Amino acid sequence: MLSGGDDGVPDGVPDGIGMARLAWTRLPTADAEGAGPSTSAAAAGDELFSAAAVESLDYEVIENYAYREEQAQRSKFWVPYYVMLKWLFSLLIGVGTGLAAIFINLAVENFSGWKYTATFAIIKHSYFVGFFVYTVFNLALVFSSVYIVTNYAPAAAGSGIPEIKGYLNGVDTHGILLFRTLVGKIFGSIGSVGGGLALGKEGPLVHTGACIASLLGQGGSAKYHLSSRWVRIFESDRDRRDLVTCGCAAGVAAAFRAPVGGVLFALEEVTSWWRSHLMWRVFFTSAVVAVVVRSAMNWCNSGKCGHFGAGGFIIWDISGGQEDYSYQELFPMAIIGVIGGLLGALFNQLTLYITKWRRTYLHKKGKRVQIFEACLISLVTSTISFVLPLLRKCSPCPQLGANSSIECPHPPGTDGNFVNFYCSKDKEYNDLATIFFNTQDDAIRNLFSAKTFHEYSAQSLITFLVMFYSLAVVTFGTAVPAGQFVPGIMIGSTYGRLVGMFVVKYYKKLNIEEGTYALLGAASFLGGSMRMTVSLCVIMVEITNNLKLLPLIMLVLLVSKAVGDFFNEGLYEEQARLRGIPLLDSRPKQVMRNMNAKDACKNQKVICLPRVSRVIDIVSVLRTNKHNGFPVVDCGQNGESLVIGLILRSHLLVLLQAKVDFQNSPFPCGPGVLNRHNFSDFVKPASSKGKSIDDIHLTEDELGLYLDLAPFLNPSPYIVPEDMSLVKVYNLFRQLGLRHIFVVPRPSRVVGLITRKDLLLEEDGNTVMAELQSTSVRGLLNGRLLGGNAHLERPLLDNLVIE
Amino acid sequence: MLSGGDDGVPDGVPDGIGMARLAWTRLPTADAEGAGPSTSAAAAGDELFSAAAVESLDYEVIENYAYREEQAQRSKFWVPYYVMLKWLFSLLIGVGTGLAAIFINLAVENFSGWKYTATFAIIKHSYFVGFFVYTVFNLALVFSSVYIVTNYAPAAAGSGIPEIKGYLNGVDTHGILLFRTLVGKIFGSIGSVGGGLALGKEGPLVHTGACIASLLGQGGSAKYHLSSRWVRIFESDRDRRDLVTCGCAAGVAAAFRAPVGGVLFALEEVTSWWRSHLMWRVFFTSAVVAVVVRSAMNWCNSGKCGHFGAGGFIIWDISGGQEDYSYQELFPMAIIGVIGGLLGALFNQLTLYITKWRRTYLHKKGKRVQIFEACLISLVTSTISFVLPLLRKCSPCPQLGANSSIECPHPPGTDGNFVNFYCSKDKEYNDLATIFFNTQDDAIRNLFSAKTFHEYSAQSLITFLVMFYSLAVVTFGTAVPAGQFVPGIMIGSTYGRLVGMFVVKYYKKLNIEEGTYALLGAASFLGGSMRMTVSLCVIMVEITNNLKLLPLIMLVLLVSKAVGDFFNEGLYEEQARLRGIPLLDSRPKQVMRNMNAKDACKNQKVICLPRVSRVIDIVSVLRTNKHNGFPVVDCGQNGESLVIGLILRSHLLVLLQAKVDFQNSPFPCGPGVLNRHNFSDFVKPASSKGKSIDDIHLTEDELGLYLDLAPFLNPSPYIVPEDMSLVKVYNLFRQLGLRHIFVVPRPSRVVGLITRKDLLLEEDGNTVMAELQSTSVRGLLNGRLLGGNAHLERPLLDNLVIE
């Protein structure tokens, strides 16, 4: 589902558009200065030269662009405006994501509440009718979800995290950040989670946050008529990615009520684009989410939200649990880590196979198959979760202390342990129903609960583990929004509690809580499957609100991740690879050690465009290959060829479609060309496939004309010498988030050497500023002396090239 | 205190040594293959060519180096050994730092305990004698600290964080990671903190952790006779920096018992070097620290540690505090943020001026002045903290509930609120003494305490604030180990509690706790002074063990950092600049927008060395300038000049000193030269100034000889075209942690274009591997065809250059 192109990446704005932009904005000044066409051309050359120097990482340019556009006076307000808007958007992302999370939770809890209240009411009379109602309720919800997704928002299926991860790594997947995806995600996950499938709402919330962020960022697209000033500000790729990073963090913060965890999640997934001032903004967004969610929870505590009470949100306060641990316990905890690693790796492998099979055989057959599949899984899930507890014998209630807050059996219609389900006596409970015939949030709370020794039998836990694990594997990959956090926690806490039971039995210590082991189990499974480290640890601490278990969670995560890494990659990486999202690892591959830059592109034929190209040549170049960027060459002062920059396919397409720049002469154009374009023409349309060469129709006459590419190219893409190690190139590529690197022959001379000292300009800022001004004057003079007066006929960009 | 050189950075291993290393390790093979000297030279050229391809970021190379050194069989064990050792070292760093933290805390608490017990015992009889004893005790401790620091470990003065920050940013400061610095830091901070100065032990602990890490990393230097295998492994600059990063995180984790805070602290300070697998190792180290510290605390809880009881460590559990907040309270909280920003910025500015003045006028006069200064400050501090409470009238004890755990006045010799000091009645307490005449940890605990409404009068708090703020400003910069965390918390919590008092008074709500406001005040001052964000927030949460206040702390930090940033830079940045540590900001300066690469180095004269240079020329080049790196040029196949790499001053000095490579002929050497050297010759001596050209003495004869530089240079430093924007160059430089960039003319052609797809080799790993093998064979053939047989007399590296 990538939008085509040789490198899997449609059009790299970070490499791209700077020069063009700056050129337009600067040239009016040049025009005003120029005394005649030729002089003005020379001056324009200098202007371009300076403009080229300004070209930089994209978001820097954007500031510069507008900074220059509105001249001196207005520019004073622009930067503060831009900064303010960035923060305002961060605020809005936080509020929006928080509200979306509240809405989803509210809906899910209420649907589940009605479902269980009705079922429990009916089974007093007939278990069969109860089963029927329960199943139909689930089926209806799941059907609504899968119908919405398959028909309106196919990109909303799954958790969305691999796609978002890909987006932040630099790969756009079609449709993941559309408005319809947002809507599909929200309503779809209400259906799928409310319908009792073995999946969670947390992954989708991350995607939801990202969608909200992206939509805010492009606010002002054709559909929403916002002011054009707004559009301009966030049209750079980097700004958008920054916003999506904020949205991603906001999603995690909202899903788990874990603001710090959200920041760290975004950080762990996006290290390649990370900057410390972005961290600060992400942090702010997360804090806003925390405040919004908390306010809503407080409002709901007064009972205005139906079944959504204090227990609705994913947060399992285990403050009553174990505060301490002995060194003996570290061994069973390590065992939990190992189990988590093994089961997590197995989960990744199984889901990979099943998803592959689904994609190859099942989902090709159309929407109906997908809908049928989801409904079938819903039926199976309902049946298992209803029938299995029926087969289980009830246990008598334990003797609880008088001042214990736990009731056995707990009153129907409320949350809690000790569910009375198909029991012959009143003072009995069904341990399998307590975890199986319940919402997942409640089940987890029950598994984590302290002071409930021996509530569950080993048999029930094993039954549940096997069944739920299988359901989770099968459910993964159906066409509904689905997160893997909550199922993972369910699975992990089951075997964790099992281990805890053995520990309680054999170590015979009173201060050991099975619930603590359940928590560690949950951490271990997530670690073994998703392979996140610090962020997962913080999220676990934040959702359980217990800092004292931090070292234990760290230990378990270390073990489970190490074990899992032995077998395969993390869940998101596996899924991303399966979906054809080419993520770049943080570490270069071993094989790159023995390669150099030239080896990496040895099978390529580099297609260069001359500075002034014939339209027909450009069209044929675009038709005959799928490259997304083309080097542009020109003749230097002494007739030798010189690489003057990189032009992107997408920009060429814009130029071909606009046609206004076509010219009759094969000589470089004057500066007038530059204000024929609106900057926004070149902005990549958000979340669409972009143009294709086949959509552009040119007449015979037009094909015979010429096009001067100089004003539209990126004049200084990064270059590497051909014999540089590929590992070095890889680091350059990934650390700077590039799209294209030119591999060039070894240079013949060194003009200068830049060291740390040369980059420390702030130490005598004023001096540098003064020097700089004189430099630019000198540069102008030099330019004129060297190339200007003597070579009036020479191409416009010669100064740029030769200087 | 930099170790010389044009760029403030002695010798950049990341740029440097790879080629040399690889060349040696590969060439023996080439020798074995070669049929005669000339053929072998050609083969060696190819070998070098491949070796060049492998050169990469330093730590990659190291693996490769040994990987090849011990051939096929042994290499199987080497990588696991290397990885295992890295983890073992992380473990050891954690254990070491944890133990150091325990030791410091134990010593400080015991000294303070003895001091206060003795003083309280004596003042029952005479306040004058008590004052005398108190002052002499403090003076003795401070004197011991300043004596140790000035005489044995001058680098141990101050917090050490700016220096460590600089180190991790790429700047080595002389002496900061020596063993004597470690010892000086540990014992010095015991003296200075135990002596009651207005400073903390947390900053020094970060430095301590870094020292431990660095010493472990170089284990096997001349002093400690460890096996040489160990040395080799961690002699790369990058490995060492990784270890120091771990140590830094361990220090924070140990100082605050905040493992996640430690990871984030390291992350915020070191983003430019950050990689996600390093994060994992740092995380492990922090977890180890947490376990070690917790074990020691448990052991001490049984009373074996003297005065070091439960209250010894910096951790202020405010679990009894406010759980909730109303929206009305957000306004006073924002006010706290503003105050924090203002006072923090003022603190930075004042300390900057005072430190400047000290460096210029005071500390030039020698050690005695420094010792005298510290003792004087100790006397003043003792006097103020003893005499001021004497002047304060005691207040009657409040009515406390029967089941309250708080006693008034608290029994002498224990920690707690309500200190009875110079009070006429038994049931009275002195509120100023409660915070002033106490250890800082206890004072903070008292300020943070909940359920103690109106314990302090506004008058006392203001008095304390003014006096302590002044003391902290004056104390900063004396020649003792000194952290700013605890003083910052003291200052912040004072005005925080003041604001809290007003809120309690005017809002008239019962669930508002003054202690919570004190905590927010502490966060705000630290935010306003140090300008850390996420890490500070997490540290505050971890030390107070209260997750629920997270959004409030976030809010306060956001405000205070924004206010502070309006005025000046963070404390550490200011201090680093003052000490001449050239930190590179994460953001390029505004002025760079208008500059290009050439502008940045326009005043430089680039000094190139020919491939085979005369020794006398090299010596004169090294004598006449201070550059640390020199481009090496050679003649290409067609006689044109070609840049073949970068050679470092330090490597040249090693070669000049060793003399073994000097040769009579001005032609390139054979491959035999390469195993004349031991790799470790070239490793930068840890924490020393390195060699100087003046230390090397050569005879007339030797000066007339030649030296072939090709085997020792870095064949592919990063290059940028001369008209690239300086912003782009800056990002390249900082993100990749470079030391040198070559500025070169625009390339004349593009050999290839590397895109994401070219770097995704793992998708068909086997194919790539197979292709690669054939490529390397083909490369060899090509090399021979092109340059080998036909040009046997041509320089060795031509293949490298022309291919």
* pLDDT computed for residue B680 by the predictor: 57
Q: Given an 8 Å threshold on Cβ–Cβ distance, is B586 in contact with A642?
A: no
Q: CB–CB of A486/A199 below 8 Å?
A: yes
How many H helices and E strands in chain B? 31, 10
Q: Which residues of A touch B548 (CB under 8 A)?
A: 545
Q: Given an 8 Å threshold on Cβ–Cβ distance, is A533 in contact with B283?
A: yes
Integer Cα distance of A252 and A257 in angstroms: 8
The pTM for the full model equals: 0.79
Integer Cα distance of A544 and A187 in angstroms: 27
Q: CB–CB of A352/A295 below 8 Å?
A: no
Integer Cα distance of A299 and A301 in angstroms: 5
Copy the structure tokens of residue B527: 């935010």
Q: CB–CB of A668/A612 below 8 Å?
A: yes
Query: Residue B315 is which amino acid?
Result: I
Q: Given an 8 Å threshold on Cβ–Cβ distance, is B718 in contact with A732?
A: yes
Q: Given an 8 Å threshold on Cβ–Cβ distance, is B760 in contact with A584?
A: yes
Residue A639 falls in which region: left (phi positive, over 0), alpha (psi -120 to 50) or beta: left
- Asked if pLDDT for residue B606 goes beyond 70, the answer is yes
Residue A454 falls in which region: left (phi positive, over 0), alpha (psi -120 to 50) or beta: left
- Asked if pLDDT for residue A371 goes beyond 90, the answer is yes
Integer Cα distance of A322 and A595 in angstroms: 54
Q: Which residues of B touch A561 (CB under 8 A)?
A: 280
Write out pLDDT tens, residues B110-137. 898 889 889 988 988 888 999 999 999 9
Tell me which of A387-401, B275-289, B663-677 is least confident: B663-677
Which of B557, B758, B769, B776 best probes binding to A when mutated, by most A CB atoms within 10 angstroms?
Answer: B758
* pLDDT computed for residue A82 by the predictor: 78
Q: Kindly tell me the burial class for residue B717, based on how many C-beta atoms sit within 10 Å of its own C-beta (0-12, 13-18, 19 or more).
A: buried
Share of chain B above pLDDT 70, in %: 74
Query: Residue A324 is which amino acid?
Result: D
Q: Given an 8 Å threshold on Cβ–Cβ distance, is B761 in contact with A591?
A: yes
Domains of chain B (ranges; CATH) run: 80-301 (1.10.3080.10), 338-579 (1.10.3080.10), 591-759 (3.10.580.10)
Q: Given an 8 Å threshold on Cβ–Cβ distance, is B53 in contact with A599?
A: yes
Write out pLDDT tens, residues B425-449. 778 888 888 888 888 888 888 888 7
- Asked if pLDDT for residue A520 goes beyond 90, the answer is yes
* pLDDT computed for residue A101 by the predictor: 92
Task: Kindly report the nearest CA distance between residue A63 and chain B, in angstroms.
Answer: 10
Taking CB atoms within 8 Å and a gap of at least 24, the contacts of A455-462 are: A455/A398, A455/A417, A455/A418, A455/A431, A455/A514, A456/A431, A456/A497, A456/A501, A457/A395, A457/A431, A458/A498, A458/A501, A460/A392, A460/A431, A460/A432, A460/A435, A461/A435, A461/A494, A461/A495, A461/A497, A461/A498, A461/A501, A462/A498
Which of B62, B746, B769 best probes binding to A when mutated, by most A CB atoms within 10 angstroms?
Answer: B746
Q: Given an 8 Å threshold on Cβ–Cβ distance, is A171 in contact with B555?
A: no
Average pLDDT of chain B is 75
Copy the structure tokens of residue A225: 């008529």
Write out pLDDT tens, residues A607-655. 888 888 888 888 888 888 878 888 888 887 777 788 888 888 888 888 8
Q: CB–CB of B70/B78 below 8 Å?
A: yes
* pLDDT computed for residue A187 by the predictor: 95
Average pLDDT of chain A is 75
Q: CB–CB of B309/B414 below 8 Å?
A: no
Write out pLDDT tens, residues A763-798. 443 333 333 232 333 333 333 333 333 333 333 323
Q: Which residue from A minimizes the CA distance to B282?
A: A534
Integer Cα distance of A584 and B151 in angstroms: 52
Tell me which of A221-230, A275-284, B94-103 is least confident: A221-230
Q: Which residue from A minimizes the CA distance to B291?
A: A551
Neighbours of B781 (CB within 10 A): 12
Task: Kindly report the nearest CA distance between residue A283 and chain B, in angstroms.
Answer: 7
Q: How confident is the model at residue B725 (pLDDT cuts 50, 70, 90)?
A: confident
Q: Given an 8 Å threshold on Cβ–Cβ distance, is A725 in contact with B733?
A: no
Q: Which residues of A touch B730 (CB under 8 A)?
A: 759
Which of A48, A537, A725, A739 best probes binding to B when mutated, by most B CB atoms within 10 angstroms?
Answer: A725
Q: Which residue from B minimizes the CA distance to A588?
A: B759
Segment B50-77 shows an average pLDDT of 36
The DSSP result for A611-629, as a single string, is: SEEEHHHHHHHHHH---SE
Which residue in A645, A681, A646 sits closest to A21, CA to CA?
A681
Q: Given an 8 Å threshold on Cβ–Cβ distance, is A597 in contact with B60?
A: no
* pLDDT computed for residue B768 by the predictor: 35
Q: Given an 8 Å threshold on Cβ–Cβ distance, is B260 in contact with A50?
A: no
Q: Kindly tell me the burial class for residue B697, based on how many C-beta atoms sit within 10 Å of its own C-beta (0-12, 13-18, 19 or more).
A: exposed
Task: Pick the more confident residue, B181 or B636.
Answer: B181
- SS3 state at A725: strand
Of the candidates B555, B584, B735, the beta carbon closest to that of A756 is on B584
Q: Which residues of A touch B586 (CB under 8 A)?
A: 275-277
Write out pLDDT tens, residues A655-697. 888 887 788 877 776 655 555 565 556 665 554 456 777 778 8
Q: Which residues of A touch B286 (CB under 8 A)?
A: 554
Q: Given an 8 Å threshold on Cβ–Cβ distance, is A757 in contact with B6?
A: yes
* pLDDT computed for residue A687 by the predictor: 46
Write out pLDDT tens, residues A321-343. 566 677 788 899 999 999 999 99
Q: How confident is the model at residue B6 (pLDDT cuts 50, 70, 90)?
A: very low
Task: Kindly report the nearest CA distance between residue A752 and chain B, in angstroms.
Answer: 5
Task: Pick the more confident residue, A519 or A689.
Answer: A519
Q: Given an 8 Å threshold on Cβ–Cβ distance, is A643 in contact with B750?
A: yes
Task: Pick the more confident residue, B219 or B330.
Answer: B330
Q: How confident is the model at residue B346 (pLDDT cuts 50, 70, 90)?
A: very high
Size of interface A-B (CB pairs under 8 A): 447
Q: How confident is the model at residue A799 (pLDDT cuts 50, 70, 90)?
A: very low
Segment B70-96 shows an average pLDDT of 74
Of the candidates A53, A725, A803, the beta carbon closest to that of B725 is on A53
Query: Residue A775 is which amino acid?
Result: T
Segment A376-394 shows an average pLDDT of 91
Q: Given an 8 Å threshold on Cβ–Cβ distance, is A260 in contact with B759?
A: no
Segment A371-387 shows an average pLDDT of 94
End-to-end CA distance of chain A: 44
- Asked if pLDDT for residue A582 goes beyond 50, the answer is yes
Of the candidates B277, B294, B765, the beta carbon closest to that of A587 is on B277
The answer for residues whose C-beta is within 8 angstroms of residue B207's C-beta and 6 or more apart is: B156, B159, B160, B161, B163, B164, B176, B181, B185, B251, B481
Q: Which residue from B minimizes the CA distance to A14?
A: B728
3-state SS track over A754-768: EEHHHHCHHHHHHHH
Which residue in B803, B797, B629, B575 sits closest to B23, CA to CA?
B797
Write out pLDDT tens, residues B449-488. 777 767 788 899 999 999 999 999 999 989 999 999 989 9
Query: Residue B203 is which amino acid?
Result: G
The answer for residues whose C-beta is within 8 angstroms of residue B601's C-beta and 6 or more apart is: A751, A752, A753, A754, A758, B743
Q: Which residues of A touch B736 (CB under 8 A)?
A: 731-732, 735
Which residue in B85, B75, B65 sits closest to B17, CA to CA?
B65
* pLDDT computed for residue B776 by the predictor: 30
Q: Which residues of A touch B277 (CB under 8 A)?
A: 586-587
Tell me which of A51-55, A249-253, B288-292 is least confident: A51-55
Instruction: Please give the backbone phi and psi of residue A508, each rounded to the nearest 5 degrees, phi first.
Output: 50, 45
Q: CB–CB of A431/A457 below 8 Å?
A: yes
Q: Given an 8 Å threshold on Cβ–Cβ distance, is B642 in contact with A545?
A: no
- H-run or E-run covering A49: helix A37-54
Q: Which of A191-205, A430-444, A602-616, A745-759 has the highest mean pLDDT?
A: A191-205
* pLDDT computed for residue A377 by the predictor: 95
Query: Residue B593 is which amino acid?
Result: R
- Asked if pLDDT for residue A480 goes beyond 90, the answer is yes
Q: Given an 8 Å threshold on Cβ–Cβ distance, is A759 in contact with B729?
A: yes
Tell me which of A136-140, A547-551, B626-630 is least confident: A547-551
Measured at the CA of A664, the angle between CA A658 and CA A667, to 5 degrees, comes to 105
Which of A535, A722, A756, A799 best probes binding to B when mutated, by most B CB atoms within 10 angstroms?
Answer: A756
Task: Pick the more confident residue, A207 or B57.
Answer: A207
Q: Given an 8 Å threshold on Cβ–Cβ distance, is A756 in contact with B277?
A: no
* pLDDT computed for residue B63 by the predictor: 33
Task: Kindly report the nearest CA distance between residue A110 and chain B, in angstroms.
Answer: 26
Integer Cα distance of A53 and A23 in angstroms: 11
* pLDDT computed for residue B676 by the predictor: 59
- Asked if pLDDT for residue A268 goes beyond 70, the answer is yes
Which of B2, B270, B754, B762 best probes binding to A when mutated, by most A CB atoms within 10 angstroms?
Answer: B754
Q: Which residues of A touch B627 (CB under 8 A)?
A: 753
Which residue in B160, B145, B150 sits closest to B193, CA to CA?
B145
Which residue in A586, A592, A743, A734 sits closest to B55, CA to CA?
A592
End-to-end CA distance of chain B: 44
- Asked if pLDDT for residue A40 goes beyond 70, the answer is no
- Residue ranges in B508-532 assigned as alpha helix (H): 514-530
Task: Kindly report the nearest CA distance between residue B14 and chain A, in angstroms.
Answer: 11
* pLDDT computed for residue B297 by the predictor: 81
Q: How confident is the model at residue B524 (pLDDT cuts 50, 70, 90)?
A: very high
Segment B605-615 shows an average pLDDT of 86
* pLDDT computed for residue A602 by the predictor: 75
> What single DSSP character describes residue B396?
E
Integer Cα distance of A134 and A195 in angstroms: 10
* pLDDT computed for residue A682 by the predictor: 65
Task: Pick the more confident residue, A450 or A271.
Answer: A450
Task: Kindly report the nearest CA distance between residue B74 and chain A, in angstroms.
Answer: 18
The answer for residues whose C-beta is within 8 angstroms of residue B133's C-beta and 6 or more apart is: B118, B119, B122
Q: Which residue from B minimizes the CA distance to A49?
A: B723
Q: Given an 8 Å threshold on Cβ–Cβ distance, is A759 in contact with B731?
A: no
Q: Given an 8 Å threshold on Cβ–Cβ distance, is B52 in contact with A740?
A: no
Q: Which of A495-509, B147-161, B318-332 has the highest mean pLDDT?
A: B147-161
Q: Given an 8 Å threshold on Cβ–Cβ distance, is A260 in contact with B800?
A: no
Q: Which residues of A touch B527 (CB under 8 A)?
A: none
Q: Which residues of B touch A287 (CB under 8 A)?
A: 550-551, 554-555, 558
Of the candidates B733, B735, B758, the beta carbon closest to that of A759 is on B733
* pLDDT computed for residue A64 by the predictor: 34
Q: Given an 8 Å threshold on Cβ–Cβ distance, is B594 in contact with A561?
A: no
Integer Cα distance of A455 and B268 in angstroms: 45
Task: Kindly report the nearest CA distance between residue A645 and chain B, in angstroms.
Answer: 10
